[in-house]
Amino acid sequence: MLYKSLFSLQVVFMLGIFGWGLGRKNPDYLRMCWYAFYLAACATAIVLFLARQEGAFNSKGEPVDGLGNAIARAIVVFGDLSDEGWLLGGFLALSILPQVLTYVTCGGYGHAPRTIMFREPLYVATIFYLKSIVGICGMVFVLFPFASNVGWISQPASETVFLMMTALGLVACILAILVVIAYRAEILCWLFNLIPRRLRRILKVVHNFFVRHETPSDPKTESDENVTRLRQIEGAVAQIMGREETLVPAGPEGH
């Protein structure tokens, strides 16, 4: 019993500290996370309540008609992230692998692209996968106390609370990952500095050889284009997530 209480306190602390850090850097991520959680929780509560009113489940929580079977099947489908993981993995492979192969092949001619877009696909895939995990947490947060309350499962109240806190603990872990994503620029810079200087020089020589026939681009213009492209991606994700505000791509001053 003591370890469950300590676990609950730890979860509350993690939710507070990671939520605070994420809100300081990117409150949009914080709102997105909790919106997905409560959307799944409310939808699960409504569906289970209506299903019980319609008699779709018996006293043991087993489906007795087509509606009950459909709900049970939906819970299994939404709770299984393997298919979505394979789908997002295929999306990343199709987004990044052709660019890498093009870079290597065209590098032999001296006309390799100067940049490879890997951050944007990785960002989109990660956000969508984390959103799905948060949705499952919201579903579990409601499913077990509901099932325990109506007698579908028999377990002590402490076990139900522990399962609810476990779901919130997973949300805290998602918040921690979102903190890392929000501070990705600083973290990437730190990781780059960990690369030995000799290896960095070798990579620079290889890259210069691959782009030896390409006209050098203006670093400021290239940076502005990368920022614009990234914000367009973030704007698309925001629209899919249901945000009302629209991110306007940043452009040169005076436009």
Q: Where are the domains of the chain?
A: 2-216
Identify the CA nearest to 28 among candidates 250, 224, 249, 245.
245
83/20 Cα distance (integer angstroms): 33
Can you say whether the dihedral through the CA atoms of 229, 231, 237, 239 is positive or negative?
negative
Backbone angles phi, psi at 238, to 5 degrees: -65, -40
For residue 240, name the pLDDT band (cuts at 50, 70, 90): low
Which whole number is the average pLDDT over 104-130? 86
Q: What average pLDDT does the structure give for the chain?
A: 81
Q: Of 76 and 24, which is predicted with more confidence?
A: 24
Q: What is the pLDDT of residue 249?
A: 46
Res 52: pLDDT: 84
The arithmetic mean of pLDDT across residues 53-67, rounded, is 81
Q: Which of 4-8, 65-69, 220-224 has the lowest mean pLDDT?
A: 220-224
Question: Would you state the pLDDT for residue 102?
Answer: 92
Of 164, 108, 177, the residue nearest 137 (C-alpha): 164
Nearest one of 126, 158, 163 to 32, comparing CA atoms: 126
Q: Which residue has the higher pLDDT, 115 or 45?
A: 45
Query: Tens digits of per-residue pLDDT, 129-151?
Result: 888 899 999 998 998 888 888 88
What confidence category does residue 180 fall into, taking pLDDT thresholds of 50, 70 and 90? Answer: confident
